Amino acid sequence: MDENLMSALNEIEKEKGISKEIMFEAIETALISAYKKNFGTAQNVRIEIDRESGKVCTFVEKVVVEEVNDENTEISIQDAHKIDPRLKCGDIVRIEITPKSFGRIAAQTAKQVVIQRIREAEREMMYKYFINKENDIVTGIVERIDKKSVLIDLGNAETTMPLTEKLPNETLRPGDRIKLYVMEVKKTTKGPQIVVSRTHPGLVKRLFEQEVPEIYDGTVEIKSIAREAGSRTKIAVHSNDKNVDGVGACVGFKGNRVQAIVDELKGEKIDIIKWSSDIKEYIAAALSPARVLSVDINNVEKIARVLVPSHQLSLAIGKEGQNARLAAKLTGWKIDINGTDIENEGGKEI
């Protein structure tokens, strides 16, 4: 192998973190196949590369026998003594059989192995990087949009996002920088397959963690999220510090924190509510902005019957039932909403 290749192995070890010894072993294995393909099929051929000089030596290992039955694997005791008089029957003798023309084949094979190993190492490094990003946010640049998907550049990798995972109310153009939720990372022979989404509830959760320091440090906890991507999200939060208002922390000064997230989600409405261990209070809060008069619960069937002022019934249910649907998803309870013209009917106002 030439000096350039030896230098390249040193650089690869430094830059890519691939052990030089691993590279040598891979090249030696590949050279055995190359030898058998070009010079015969000796079963016990061995190839060694000098770790300092890069010199390639090819040996065949033969068993010392009284009478030779297979010249490829055996050597007579008489011929063995010409190599080393101390050899006896049953010993293994190594005979160098490096062809003069093998140098060119060796160098070519070595380069192919090195290129392959570099690609494998880069794919492995990419996989390790993105597997740590699973259930997290990455930033990508839109490269191309077609009828079914969006091609996105993630910096050191590319991914394809189906149009079903795009926000229904956003128009993407090449060059747009967008944030994506990594749902899954799969290892393939062509490198990591990165499954991303803009519609997953996890995107909203991670955006709040990035935007709100109190969530990031654990002072405020996100208890539940219900989302209809591109339209509305409800998020229930709880403060672990009685001196910190969880809802206020998420909204931010003059609404700056929640507005940054709304802007990223192209105008998607976000309702931030206070989580409560009291299920009646929690369900009432989940139905905001409607005012709830009373909540009666059936713990066995997990059904909540909610009473609201008649003039707020449509607000509680929401357009096409969205508000009630999101509240049910947020709390995990089935919610039956009714209106009344009598304030406080069915119990005191919640």
Write down the H helix ranges in 17-134.
Answer: 20-39, 77-83, 102-131
Q: What is the pLDDT of residue 144?
A: 95
State the Cα–Cα distance between residues 29 and 148, nearest whole angstrom: 44
| C-alpha distances out from residue 338 to 140, 190, 325, Å | 46, 56, 15
Q: Where are the domains of the chain?
A: 3-125, 137-197, 200-275, 280-350
Q: What is the mean pLDDT of residues 131-153?
A: 95
Domain made up of 137-197: CATH architecture: Beta Barrel (2.40)
Domain 280-350 sits in CATH at: 3.30.300.20
Q: In this model, does residue 349 exceed pLDDT 50?
A: no
Which pLDDT belongs to residue 197?
97
CA-to-CA dists, residue 183 to 40, 49, 88, 334, 338, angstroms = 51, 45, 65, 28, 38
- Strands 232-239, 269-274: pairing kind: parallel
Phi, psi (degrees; rounded to nearest 5) at 254: 55, 30
Query: Cβ(187)–Cβ(218) under 8 Å?
Result: no
pLDDT tens per residue, range 209-226: 999 999 999 999 999 999
Task: Write out pLDDT tens, residues 272-299.
Answer: 999 999 999 999 999 999 999 999 999 9
Whether 271 shows a pLDDT value over 90: the answer reads yes
pLDDT in tens, 104-136: 888 788 888 888 888 888 888 889 999 999 999
**Domain 200-275: CATH class, spelled out:** alpha beta
pLDDT value at 14 more than 60 = yes
| 14 vs 332: which has the higher pLDDT | 332
Continuous segment of H or E residues that includes residue 280: helix 279-286
Name the CATH topology of 3-125. Answer: N Utilization Substance Protein A; Chain:P; domain 4 (3.30.1480)
Give me the pLDDT at residue 346, please.
44
280-350 matches 200-275 in CATH topology = yes
- Regarding predicted confidence, which is higher, 344 or 72? 72
